[in-house]
Amino acid sequence: MTTLHFAHLTDIHITHKQTWWGSMGELPERLLVETIDQLNAIPDLDFVLITGDVIDGSTEAEIDHFNDLLARLKTPWHFVPGNHDGFIDPAHPDALPPAEAVARIDRRFTPATAGIQQAYFSREAGAGVRLIGLDSRRSEDWSGEIGPAQFEWLESELDASGDDCVIVALHHPLHNLDAINTREWWSNFICDNGAEVEALLDHYPQAKLVISGHHHAQQIRRRGGRLHVCTGALTGYPCVYRLIRVSTGGEGCHMAISTHSPADEEALKINYDLMLEASVSRDYNPEDGTAWARFVAGEDGDQSFEGVL
């Protein structure tokens, strides 16, 4: 019997720029530090999983600042990259390109192995539990995909995983979280070929859990024999992280998931008010500016789960 206890953090968007996230001043870093302090106080926490967008403007200074903050964390951590973790944009000449940025965030990668679609990995997270990290970044836009070479690699890793319980982590969710994801622009929140990846995973019943971020929304769904967990942004409303306990060795794989927040009432209100002002809220529902906030916060069933898969 193996029990693994880990935290899932995503979309931290540490920045020095006066962008939307920058308008919060030091609040994002305060929320990250508070989260790390809460995690450090959990005696049996095995690791932390971070599913991308740890910075916002992709500058060297942002990455170094994020690394300094993360250095407080006492447990090992795993990282899959998001679309903000390095990019090329003439409007942001000080942004590090994807390969350089990701290699600077996670030294297990080098610039030669951290390029778009290349920063993937397969690691033993604990006895009988395999963590597969995918790199869903695209060079064309902020949408996601798993390209042919990585897809082939994923299939071979799943073939080799035997009876291990497999956890797949990637920045972009594999399936639409909402009907709006079928629309232009909103489809960028989802992995373009997520349906193909799911069809592949369907052949491997040992793949029990898919964990993602990017949509900045809380959602938990059973799909096939798997649980798909999308976690809201740590430093934007609803300011959350998850604790996940996976136990193997009995009948199936027992999973317990809970949601936590580093934000006090004041910090949450700042984030909520900012969200109501954001254009994404108006676009989501022009008649009801609070609808997007409700969607990203999720319902009761999106906050926790306990069951056997």
Of the candidate spans 76-84, 92-100, 246-254, 274-282, the one that interacts with Fe ion by CB under 5 A turns out to be 76-84
Collapsing DSSP to helix, strand or coil, 236 comes out as coil
Under the criterion CB under 5 A, does residue 82 sit at the interface with Fe ion?
Answer: yes
Task: Looking at the chain, list the stretches that DSSP marks H as alpha helix, in order from N- to C-terminal side.
Answer: 27-40, 60-70, 98-105, 148-160, 194-201, 265-277, 279-284, 291-297
Residue 161 Cα distances to 123, 144, 158, 208, angstroms: 10, 25, 5, 12
Return the residue of 29, 53, 164, 302 that touches Fe ion, per CB under 5 A.
53
Under the criterion CB under 5 A, does residue 215 sit at the interface with Fe ion?
Answer: no
Q: What's the closest the beta carbon of residue 56 comes to Fe ion, in angstroms?
A: 8
Q: What's the closest the beta carbon of residue 188 comes to Fe ion, in angstroms?
A: 9
Under the criterion CB under 5 A, does residue 85 sit at the interface with Fe ion?
Answer: no
Q: What's the closest the beta carbon of residue 86 comes to Fe ion, in angstroms?
A: 12
Residue with tokens 């799943």: 158
Q: Give the separation between CA 56 and CA 33, rounded to whole angstroms.
A: 17
Candidates 268, 244, 235, 274; CA nearest to 53 is 235
Return the residue of 5, 8, 17, 214 that touches Fe ion, per CB under 5 A.
214
CA–centroid distance for 4 within its chain: 19
Q: Which is nearer to Fe ion, 79 or 204 (CB)?
A: 79
Q: What's the closest the beta carbon of residue 8 comes to Fe ion, in angstroms?
A: 14
Q: Are 110 and 119 in contact (CB under 8 A)?
A: no
Q: Give the separation between CA 175 and CA 190, rounded to whole angstroms.
A: 6
Q: Which is nearer to Fe ion, 158 or 240 (CB)?
A: 240
Residue 30 neighbours by CB distance under 10 Å: 17
Return the residue of 4, 11, 15, 98 that touches Fe ion, per CB under 5 A.
11
Q: What's the closest the beta carbon of residue 232 comes to Fe ion, in angstroms?
A: 10
Q: Give the separation between CA 256 and CA 164, rounded to whole angstroms.
A: 18
Q: What's the closest the beta carbon of residue 30 comes to Fe ion, in angstroms?
A: 18
Q: Which is nearer to Fe ion, 141 or 288 (CB)?
A: 141
Amino acid (one-letter) located at 99? A
Under the criterion CB under 5 A, does residue 83 sit at the interface with Fe ion?
Answer: yes
Q: Which is nearer to Fe ion, 53 or 157 (CB)?
A: 53
DSSP classification of residue 90: T
Question: Please, which residues have CB within 8 angstroms of residue 155's CB and are 6 or more apart in sequence?
Answer: 200
Q: What's the closest the beta carbon of residue 300 comes to Fe ion, in angstroms?
A: 24
Amino acid (one-letter) located at 305? F
Under the criterion CB under 5 A, does residue 62 sit at the interface with Fe ion?
Answer: no
Question: Please, which residues have CB within 8 angstroms of residue 264's CB and are 6 or more apart in sequence?
Answer: none
Q: Bridge partners of 53?
A: none
Q: Which is nearer to Fe ion, 56 or 164 (CB)?
A: 56
- Total site size for Fe ion, rule CB under 5 A: 5
List the interface residues with Fe ion, window 93-132 (CB under 5 A): none
Q: What's the closest the beta carbon of residue 162 comes to Fe ion, in angstroms?
A: 33
How long, in residues, is the chain?
Answer: 309
Of the candidate spans 53-61, 133-141, 223-231, 286-294, the one that interacts with Fe ion by CB under 5 A turns out to be 53-61
Of the candidate spans 210-218, 224-232, 246-254, 268-276, the one that interacts with Fe ion by CB under 5 A turns out to be 210-218
Summarize as ranges the residues that interact with Fe ion (CB under 5 A): 11, 53, 82-83, 214
